[in-house]
Amino acid sequence: MTRTQAIVFDMDGVLIDSEELHAHAKRIAFAHAGIALSDADLCSYVGQSDAVMIDEIGARYGLTDGQRSTVLNEKTRIYEQEEQGIKIVPGAIEFVRWAAQHYRLALATSATPRNRMTTLNRLGLANLFEVAADLGDVSEPKPSPEIYLTVTSRLALQPSQCLVVEDSHFLLSRVCRRSARTPEGLPKTRTRCASRFPWTRSQLRLVPSACPRNPP
């Protein structure tokens, strides 16, 4: 079995408990456009970029490009206005600092470059991530495996030498399906839920694999 050389962290839902604010901002922005988002709408896009979600749902409801752009701008404005209230996942900072003593670290997030830098600076962890990739580094956002392959390439490691930590089983099942069509494969994956339990050093051993053997 290949030994894990690096851990690739997601950010939202793994290091910061931001999903509630993201959902709140999206609900308001879409409501201003006359669309009431369902819980299913929100859950199905956890871990994906705002632009992808707003484009796809906007198209479903017949919003013009201009209207979708307005929704995206409004969502961004609300999020940035209220982001200081976002809670840090309990144990996240301590866990990352511990992990940095044992593994090489990378970040692979669907956040914008601005949100990534703001969050890492707030957490005081920016210098611990050897590689950090965000929405500005890829042509296809999650669930495309591109961002994971980008960070493993920058680390000069094989995907099998890396462990990805995400908070969404649904997202990772879609990533796993798409990665099956790429020759590089996908790093090993683990999931954790920010709202259910804090980080501890034993999480790498306790959390289950997120890639089903036969993804739906």
Give residue 142's pLDDT.
82
Average of per-residue pLDDT across 186-203: 44
- Greater pLDDT, 46 or 215: 46
Give residue 155's pLDDT.
96
- Greater pLDDT, 174 or 114: 114
Question: What pTM was estimated for this model as a whole?
Answer: 0.75
Q: What percent of the chain has pLDDT over 70?
A: 76
Q: With 80 as the cut, is the pLDDT of residue 70 above it?
A: yes
CATH architecture of 6-17+87-206: 3-Layer(aba) Sandwich (3.40)
- Greater pLDDT, 187 or 101: 101
Q: Terminal CA-to-CA distance of the chain, rounded, Å?
A: 26
Residue type (1 letter), 70 = T
Among the listed residues 100, 135, 102, the one whose alpha carbon sits nearest the alpha carbon of residue 10: 135
Give residue 205's pLDDT.
40
Cα 60 to the chain's mean position, in Å?
24
